Amino acid sequence: MPSNPRLLSLSTAVPDHVLVQDDVKAWAARHFDGRNKDIERLMPAFDNAGIETRYSCLPLEWHKNGHHWRDKNRLYVDNAVELLTRAATECLEKAGLGPQSVDAVVAVSTSGFATPSLDALIMQRLGLRQNVVRLPVFGLGCVGGVLGLAQAVEIARAEPGRRVLLLVVELCGLTFRSDDVSKSNVIATVLFGDGAAAALVAATGDGPEISRPGQHTWPDSLDVMGWNIEDDGFGVLFSQDIPALVLREMPPVLDAYLNANDLTLDDFDGFICHPGGAKVVTALEQVFKTETNGLRHTRGVLRDFGNMSAATVMFVLDRFITEGRPGRYLMSALGPGFTAGFLTVEIP
């Protein structure tokens, strides 16, 4: 029986502009003052989000005035290509391999549009072969890191000689709409950051073993999270019930994943989770029955980078790998659909 694919290397990248949460809070108070009658009631969300810093491809003041979707999407493409190039170059260098060694690319992003897709745009930048297999993935939102990695694993498993480069980038800050005074847009201002990750997966080699992909999409849940396409860009869609949904709906789905793979929660040494937000992390701690501070890397990434949608869980995975504690870990994320994604990661 062929062995499970392994993660040969992983790198992350963030843009240059650092957003300190206190500064964003003060900016938001000025921006929404007199435009959102509930802004004073919403301001404590900045303090309770568990976020200290985030990163942005543009300075905070750029968001003061409205921008056409065309201009924002051009900035998305330019900055996404730049971040992915940085992350992928470092990822290949860590693996001791050159661009010509890549056989397939999976590119995941949901915060902008690119046609030709991002993988095609960076092929020449990276120096990839012209016969590389390409799989662009759009629409998975926050679950994209887990499900994108699952796709890379399946491609590597199908043809053991293939090396698969996973690219994940989200520039959530560019989705801010200055004239949107809804609660969802305010909360997005509290949470969102920009970031990218690149991972190299192959059926042979050294590194964490990745296996047992799983996912579940709940019925009648399309309005839980996602984007509404508006004239000036992406209108963020958040349900305030997500933490309650996690507490109520996640346990039976988790049990089904564990039972299908003949596992229990006791078989895992930790949990590599996309954070979403502080309340979601608290709900996940209850679902996974972790000890106090059991999701410390999840909270740490949220604190240092905010919610970077699909890229976030890759930053959490990077911290587990850097820590170097051997064990079996459950990787999970939630995203539009409403969908849960799972993977098992074994760090040697």
Supply the residues annotated as catalytic. 142
Beta strands per DSSP E along the chain: 6-13, 17-20, 53-56, 104-108, 133-137, 163-171, 194-202, 209-217, 225-230, 233-238, 270-273, 327-335, 339-347
**Cβ atoms within 10 Å of 60's Cβ, excluding its own:** 18
Is the N-terminal amide bond of 138 cis, ω within 30° of 0? no
Q: In this structure, are residues 72 and 273 in contact, taking their beta carbons and an 8 Å threshold?
A: no
* 16 phi/psi in degrees, rounded to 5: -85, -25
Distance CA(56)–CA(155), nearest Å, equals 32
Residue 38 has what DSSP assignment? T
Distance CA(50)–CA(322), nearest Å, equals 22
Length of the chain: 348
Query: Per residue in 255-269, is it b (16+ CB within 10 Å) or e — as a string?
Result: eebbeeeeeeeeebe
State which H helix or E strand residue 309 sits in.
Answer: none
